[in-house]
Amino acid sequence: MSYQITGKTGVCVLFGDPVEHAMSPVMHNAAFQKLGLDYVYVPCRVKKEDLGKAVAGIRAMNFRGFNVTIPHKLAVIPFLDKLDPMAQKLGAVNTVVNDNGVLTGYNTDATGFLQSLLEKGIEPKGRKIAILGAGGSARAIAFILADRGARLVILNRHVERAQELARDVGKNVKAVPLDEANLALALRDSEVLINGTSVGMQKEEETPVPAGLLRRDLVVVDIVYNPIETRLLKDAKAAGAVTIDGVEMLVWQGAQGFEKWTGQKAPVDLMRKEAIKALTHEK
């Protein structure tokens, strides 16, 4: 389907460095066309020193909004007017809505991750959940799951970072060093395992968890989406576990941003299909 860009077309962009491999353009542009919306989504490579000028450009050109990816999720905050409560808690933004020059920051990484669980029938409340990693994605996941009432153990190779995250989250959270002994102990008591690290990204032989620690009654989530089926997920499936791949978080965080910009319900199935197509280089 083709469409024409005019002076009335709503513009949404992605700010990051790099942006060449982002999945957002294929998902959003397909969704705009599917719903017949006069919008277009464009990735823009923005260097750290130019971020303030880029945000000023959003206001000046009255673009509808933008996504923020590495390395700008924290740095963008001083240039915004308002933050929603989750973005405020996390100190990180990935989606911004422009309402007549008022820029509001959101974090749909957190809410999108939660939705990816709920859509699979997995309610985190009261569950024991092990999170691997303490970086930006793991932070978003930890906050939203704690808010939902889960009990968490965060495992990270540099335990100080895990302890800092546990203090920030502040309730029902433990932090321990990520090694095989602690991993075995954590998984013995956990119902859900989440890989919030980049281990396995574009390296199909790598996994953060030995296969022998996985079991049938465990839910295993990997936020890595390239490859879609990581070694961790293959091993988990072989053990009979329920698995959720990284495409789900990717799609749901994108869908929630789409809805904030357009006020329309996102065509999630289409966005998932387009993301998978791009990741697997299908035609």
Same domain, 158 and 222: yes
User: In this predicted structure, what is the pLDDT of residue 176?
Assistant: 98
Which domain covers residue 101, as residue numbers?
10-106
Same domain, 115 and 224: yes
For residue 232, name the pLDDT band (cuts at 50, 70, 90). very high
- Six token digits for residue 246: 């990284």
Confirm whether 73 is a catalytic residue: yes
Answer whether residue 2 shows pLDDT above 60. no
279 found inside a domain: no
pLDDT tens digits for range 94-122: 999 999 999 999 999 999 999 999 999 99
Q: Which of 214, 231, 213 is nearest to 222 (CA)?
A: 231
pLDDT tens digits for range 125-182: 999 999 999 999 999 999 999 999 999 999 999 999 999 999 999 888 999 999 999 9
Same domain, 133 and 238: yes
Residues of the chain above pLDDT 90, percent? 94
CATH number, position 131: 3.40.50.720
Same domain, 99 and 117: no
CATH number, position 29: 3.40.50.10860
Name, in order, each residue with C-beta under 8 angstroms of 56's C-beta and a sequence gap of 6 or more: 79
Of 106, 124, 150, the residue that ends a domain is 106
pLDDT tens digits for range 46-76: 999 999 999 999 999 999 999 999 999 999 9
Q: Which of 33, 37, 23 is nearest to 277 (CA)?
A: 23
Measured CA to CA, the distance from residue 204 to residue 227 in angstroms comes to 7
Same domain, 74 and 135: no
For residue 78, name the pLDDT band (cuts at 50, 70, 90). very high
User: In this predicted structure, what is the pLDDT of residue 1?
Assistant: 44
Measured CA to CA, the distance from residue 95 to residue 257 in angstroms comes to 6
Same domain, 117 and 62: no
Pair 154, 134: CB distance under 8 Å: yes
Q: What's the mean per-residue pLDDT of the chain? A: 96
Same domain, 194 and 146: yes
Measured CA to CA, the distance from residue 170 to residue 164 in angstroms comes to 10
User: In this predicted structure, what is the pLDDT of residue 161?
Assistant: 97
Same domain, 140 and 61: no
258 found inside a domain: no
Of 106, 131, 152, the residue that ends a domain is 106
User: In this predicted structure, what is the pLDDT of residue 3?
Assistant: 67
256 found inside a domain: no
- Six token digits for residue 134: 């303490």
Measured CA to CA, the distance from residue 33 to residue 38 in angstroms comes to 8
Of 73, 106, 139, the residue that ends a domain is 106
User: In this predicted structure, what is the pLDDT of residue 282?
Assistant: 62
275 found inside a domain: no
Same domain, 100 and 188: no
92 found inside a domain: yes
pLDDT tens digits for range 237-262: 999 999 999 999 999 999 999 999 99
Same domain, 67 and 32: yes
Indicate the pTM of the whole model. Answer: 0.94
Pair 165, 154: CB distance under 8 Å: yes
User: Taking residues 227-232, what's their average pLDDT?
Assistant: 96
Catalytic residue among 34, 47, 53, 73: 73
227 found inside a domain: yes
Q: How many domains does the chain have?
A: 2
Same domain, 129 and 242: yes
User: In this predicted structure, what is the pLDDT of residue 34?
Assistant: 97
Same domain, 125 and 79: no
User: In this predicted structure, what is the pLDDT of residue 223?
Assistant: 96
Q: Which of 258, 233, 12 is nearest to 115 (CA)?
A: 258
User: Taking residues 188-200, what's their average pLDDT?
Assistant: 95
User: Taking residues 10-39, what's their average pLDDT?
Assistant: 97
